[in-house]
Amino acid sequence: MQLTFLGAAGEVTGSSYLVETGTVRFLVDCGMFQGGREADRKNRTAFKFDPETIDFVLLTHAHIDHSGLLPRLSAWGFRGPVYCTAATVDLLQVMLKDSAYIQEKETEWRNKSRRRHQSTQEIAPLYTVAQAEALLKQLSRVDYDEEITPHPSIRCIFRDAGHILGSSIIELWIKKHTGYKKIVFSGDLGQPGHPIVRDPAIIQQADVLLIESTYGNRLHRSMSATLDELVDAINDTLIKKAGNVIIPAFTVGRTQDLLFLLVDLYRQGRLGDMDIYVDSPMAKAATEITLKHMPLLDKEASDAVQWMDKSARKPQIHFVQDIEESMQLNHIKHGAIIISASGMCDAGRIKHHLKYNLSRPECSILITGFQAERTLGRRLVDGAKLVRIFGQDVRVRAKIYTIGGLSAHADQADIINWLRQFQKTPDKVFVVHGEMSNSSALAAVIQQQLGWNSSIPESLSTIEF
């Protein structure tokens, strides 16, 4: 039996793991690489196998760094089912078509640029909208805590990961001559007490464990301190400075978290009247999907939704759909909270809002999620004074807030506390989905505090067990 680390080994994006037992061959996740010039090359050469030979895919959640290459997998010959939770299926209906649209538009732009430079060699998109729609027909809904058998030799259960709506920890039992070998894939593990979603499920045993390490080298601020910082940043910007608050946010997960928190803080009287603009065509659909799956939400989120339904006086939330509306936001000089994708500032409408607000000292940029290396968001977090947006140099005069406590990922202490619930020590722990410094720090703490055998796999390495 073999396990190959196709991505998210020594890096954050491109999550994908190939499992081969001799009788069945399948993937856990099939994610897109994101950030930096190497991402496109990695995505185009990601399949180190014949997609036609893959029997099925188990998908932990809908984020593109875990699901984004599924349409390409299907276009290249994969015909099996993709198992994921019902909420993940609903989110993918929106996210993968949006991703495909972006692929088509970016490729169109790049080919026009090539023609201007007298190049006759054109490139094809990673996949098209039609190919994404074809893949969507292969999705198969799974309930949390329900055992499925995607193959006679495989048993599998999806547990709530508490990361985003529908996110899962996957427990996998592989039949051997002497019994079963159990592998657990943590997926992206959520932060306990995080808004909207429930806390991560407890897992008690695994022979082999793959644990994420996005924040494996640090601790988040407490939620109370985080909310204090959020309130101070917004009040200081909107009231004292009369500027705008710009928040880069992932359309699925972080945007809904922010809307819930802003509503709840208004309800508590900590924030005043606000005009909130959610500038992402996909965000409205993602928010509607979130409300469709109310049983998956925690009590605080359910209470906030009910209050919004009944209250006459509440924050004004505007979902911006077309490009003309989005462009009009650039004329607003003060009093606006603009939430827009992408969350790492490398694409999408957020770049326009940064272009028009970064150079204004009365404005603030709130970074609320992980910023991968080589992204615009990371350069802002690292203190860049000058950035390049759409070919123009833009001075950074706005105040940059890094509000890490809103992360949908567990921090080092959260991960260790989750691991302490195991009743039996895993034979092997592989630390994945983290930049090398983060993964190394977590692997060391696991060994020091728990005494477990943990290591960081190399990209494209294969282990046998």
Q: Which domain holds residue 367?
A: 223-406
Name the pLDDT band for 77 (thresholds 50, 70, 90). Answer: very high
Determine what percent of the chain is predicted with pLDDT higher than 70. 99
Task: Specify the higher pLDDT residue, 299 or 215.
Answer: 215
Q: Which helix (H) or strand (E) holds 290?
A: helix 281-292
Cβ atoms of residues 290 and 260 within 8 Å: no
At 339 the three-state DSSP class reads strand
**Bigger pLDDT: 298 vs 233:** 233
Distance from C-alpha of 17 to C-alpha of 208, rounded to nearest angstrom? 13
Asked if 39 and 173 sit in the same domain, the reply is: yes
Do 262 and 237 share a structural domain?
yes
154 in the same domain as 237:
no
Same-domain status, 117 and 130? yes
Q: Let me know whether 280 and 428 are in one domain.
A: no
CATH of the domain at 434: 3.60.15.10
Task: Give the pLDDT confidence score for residue 314 in this predicted structure.
Answer: 85
Instruction: Please tell me the predicted confidence (pLDDT) of residue 423.
Output: 96
Task: Classify residue 222 by its DSSP letter.
Answer: P
- Same domain membership, residue 230 and residue 172: no
Same domain, 346 and 388: yes
CATH number of the domain enclosing 299: 3.40.50.10890
Residue 104 confidence (pLDDT) above 80 = yes
Q: Read off the pLDDT of each residue in 425-445 and give the average, rounded to a whole number.
A: 97
| Residues 213, 246 share a domain | no
What count of Cα atoms within 13 Å lies in the side-chain half-sphere of residue 202? 7
* Chain segment 234-274, per-residue pLDDT in tens: 999 999 999 999 999 988 888 999 999 999 999 999 999 99
pLDDT value at 280 more than 90: no
- Dist. CA 237–CA 219, nearest whole Å: 27
Span of 101-105, 164-168, 371-375 with lowest mean pLDDT: 371-375
Burial of 112 (0-12, 13-18, 19+ CB in 10 A): exposed
Q: Which among 387, 406, 425 is the end of a domain?
A: 406
Question: Which residues lie below 8 Å from residue 207, measured CB to CB, with a gap of 6+?
Answer: 181, 182, 183, 426, 427, 428, 465
pLDDT score for 14:
96
pLDDT tens track for 107-152: 888 888 777 777 768 889 999 999 999 999 999 999 999 999 999 9
Q: Tell me, what's the pLDDT at 341?
A: 86
The reply to whether 202 and 299 lie within a common domain is no
Tally the domains of the chain.
2
Listed residues 406, 430, 448: the one ending a domain: 406
Q: Which pLDDT value is given to residue 81?
A: 98
Same domain, 18 and 63: yes
For residue 249, what are the CA distances in angstroms to 70, 133, 166, 408, 456? Answer: 23, 25, 18, 12, 29
* Burial class for 442, CB neighbours closer than 10 Å (0-12, 13-18, 19+): buried
User: Cβ(445)–Cβ(451) under 8 Å?
Assistant: no
State CA 118 to chain mean position distance: 38
Residues 154 and 6 in one domain: yes
Radius of gyration of the chain (CA): 22
Band of residue 298 on the pLDDT scale cut at 50, 70, 90? confident
User: Does residue 341 sit in the same domain as residue 437?
Assistant: no
C-beta of residue 64 within 8 angstroms of C-beta of residue 15: no
Q: Average pLDDT, stretch 353-362?
A: 96
